[in-house]
Amino acid sequence: MTVPRLCGGGIASSPQSLTSSKETVMKTVIRRDTVVIGAGLSGLYAALTLKEAGQSVAVIEARDRVGGLTLSPQSPWLGRRIDLGGQWVSQKHTRICTLIRRYSVPLIRQFTAGEQVCIHDDKTFRGPLTTIPGMSEADFAEYTKAFDKLYQTFDALPANPWEGELAAKLDLMTYDSWVREMLPPGLARNALLRLPGAYYGVMPEEVSALELLQKLRGCGGPRFMSDMETGGMSEHMWGSQAVSEGMAGDLAGDVFLASPARRVEWSGSGVVVETDTTRFEAARLVFACAPAMIQQIAFSPALPAARRLLHQRFPNGRNTKAVIAYDKPFWRKKGLSGRVISTSGSVTAVLDIGGAEPGPGVLIALFSGKAALRVDPLEGDARRKAVLGLLAQALGSEALEPQEFHLQVWADEEWSAGASSPFLIPGQLTHYGAGLRAPVGPIHWAGTHMATEFRGYMEGALAAGEAAAGQILATDKA
């Protein structure tokens, strides 16, 4: 019998033989106050919060690593870690910034010197970072006006965004139909339709307008989110997975890798979570993974219908990210910042993450939502060719000869099922909003999609983990 791999060393509990299911499988038994499913940022932070409050915990992780949607392999050529998942933060993301300091993760200011390139269909335009190059003054004025309307609309929503007439109206529309109602065809409309993909990997026609608008509001609004001076894109890590590894180190002996949760038995008095080798018994359970993942787990008894149906209406989007390293940041010599955007969906964003110090050139290229469909369906080397071709179109033919190329298609990942933050389809937030975070018996819900602020971000993942831990501690105290 294989015992699950422990992260950070240590012995979890003395193995004990028990029988389980029809085939009489011998399983190790581990007992803790709380079991957490998912060793991404949210699950690890929930566990750490509980452990620091004196509880015993076990974190069960399907993969053979911690970090979930943060993934930072070592780059042999750069001699440091690179990031294929979450990376950018703002100082307003207070929890993640505290952990970055606690675990000494390198944090770099976003490089912003030079112009940006915008791709409209087959044409490229360059201009200042504060504009959308190639957009006429009239289109830009219309785009700015539409942005103001977007802010006015989400500001008009109540604190509980699922309440009231405006919410009811917006929840019946997709974000796509809301934008089309507001703007005629053109670049301004295209630019606004980029937002769901850019921030959440979602297509505008699949997400509820209400869901998207309240998410944007909770993240400080799109102007803040894309701000490279003080906002959501102002600083980035080199090796964000180290935050999760740091927490796993502090949870030494309590994190069980390569252990997908297969079955959950629950009642008023507690839970049993079974992996292939182990039976975890606890008073409480925190789910810190996407609803699409929860749906693959067998429950006994079944979850209440309202919760099961909610999980079916909470899919993931698509995120694909490339990291490309060059001898030199050749674009900087041309007066370019390395930033590339597109109104026609060729790419979500390209950014220079090399930092201000002289050194090699490093770009990331993000393909989210619809833009991911330009890369994901391709096979083998065609994916690399598509990414490099796009970079060459925007920045020059030097882009075709990188020293190193990494590509992560998150939709290909068994334990992520897309990325980056699950979203509600139309008509659901008004229906399920009030009960979204309510525990079901001993089961609590975390994951970035459960956050009220900075949902979809690493900060949201931590906030949701902290909130689930807070619910447990409050219930246990009462």
Ligand X SMILES: Cc1cc2nc3c(=O)[nH]c(=O)nc-3n(C[C@H](O)[C@H](O)[C@H](O)COP(=O)(O)OP(=O)(O)OC[C@H]3O[C@@H](n4cnc5c(N)ncnc54)[C@H](O)[C@@H]3O)c2cc1C
The minimum distance between CB 455 and ligand X, in angstroms, equals: 8
Residue 47 touching ligand X (CB under 6 A): no
Quick check: 292 and 422 in contact, CB under 8 A?
A: yes
Which one, 187 or 351, has the nearer CB to ligand X?
351
Residue 361 touching ligand X (CB under 6 A): no
Which residues does residue 419 pair with via DSSP β-bridges, in sequence order?
317
Which one, 63 or 313, has the nearer CB to ligand X?
63
The minimum distance between CB 93 and ligand X, in angstroms, equals: 7
Give the per-residue contact string, 317-346, with ligand X (x = CB under 6 A; - = no): --x-x-------------------------
Residue among 30, 32, 34, 68 that touches ligand X (CB under 6 A): 68
Q: What are the Cα distances from residue 178, in Å, to 143, 172, 316, 468?
A: 14, 10, 21, 33
Q: How far apart are CA 134 and CA 375, in angstroms?
A: 25
Scored b (16 or more CB within 10 A) or e, 45-68 reads bbbbbbbeeebbbbbbbbbeebbb
Residue among 27, 32, 51, 63 that touches ligand X (CB under 6 A): 63
Q: How far separated are the first and last CA of the chain, in Å rounded?
A: 41
Of 250-269, binders to ligand X (CB under 6 A) are: 260-261
The minimum distance between CB 87 and ligand X, in angstroms, equals: 4
Can you tell me which residue has the tokens 């004025």?
141
The minimum distance between CB 44 and ligand X, in angstroms, equals: 8
Residue 358 in 3-state DSSP? coil
Scored b (16 or more CB within 10 A) or e, 422-460 reads bbbbbbbbbebbeebbeebbbbbbbbbbbbbebbbbbbb
The minimum distance between CB 71 and ligand X, in angstroms, equals: 8
Q: Give the tokens for residue 413.
A: 């990942």
Residue 147 touching ligand X (CB under 6 A): no
Residue among 410, 433, 444, 467 that touches ligand X (CB under 6 A): 410
Of 280-299, binders to ligand X (CB under 6 A) are: 288-290, 293, 297
Residue among 86, 161, 218, 402 that touches ligand X (CB under 6 A): 86
Residue 87 touching ligand X (CB under 6 A): yes
Q: What are the Cα distances from residue 298, in Å, to 35, 135, 266, 273?
A: 16, 52, 11, 10
Which one, 75 or 421, has the nearer CB to ligand X?
421
Which one, 39 or 118, has the nearer CB to ligand X?
39
Of 453-472, binders to ligand X (CB under 6 A) are: 456-459, 461
Nearest Cα neighbor of 316 from 408, 389, 413 is 413
DSSP category for residue 416? T
Which residues does residue 342 pair with via DSSP β-bridges, in sequence order?
119
The minimum distance between CB 66 and ligand X, in angstroms, equals: 7
Residue among 36, 60, 100, 322 that touches ligand X (CB under 6 A): 60
- Give the number of C-alpha atoms closer than 13 A to the C-alpha of residue 451, restricted to the C-beta side: 31
Q: Which one of 124-132, 302-310, 330-338, 451-459 is the stretch in contact with ligand X (CB under 6 A)?
A: 451-459
Q: How far apart are CA 153 and CA 149, in angstroms?
A: 6
Q: Give the tokens for residue 21.
A: 């299911």
Of 189-208, binders to ligand X (CB under 6 A) are: none
Of 10-39, binders to ligand X (CB under 6 A) are: 37-39
Residue 120 touching ligand X (CB under 6 A): no
Nearest Cα neighbor of 323 from 101, 77, 33, 95 is 77
Q: Total residues at the site for ligand X (CB under 6 A)?
A: 40
Q: Which one of 170-178, 190-198, 383-391, 413-421 is the stretch in contact with ligand X (CB under 6 A)?
A: 413-421
Which one, 170 or 458, has the nearer CB to ligand X?
458
Q: How far apart are CA 243 and CA 253, in angstroms?
A: 17
Binding footprint of ligand X on the chain (CB under 6 A): 37-43, 60-63, 68-70, 85-88, 260-261, 288-290, 293, 297, 319, 321, 410, 415-416, 419-421, 447-448, 456-459, 461
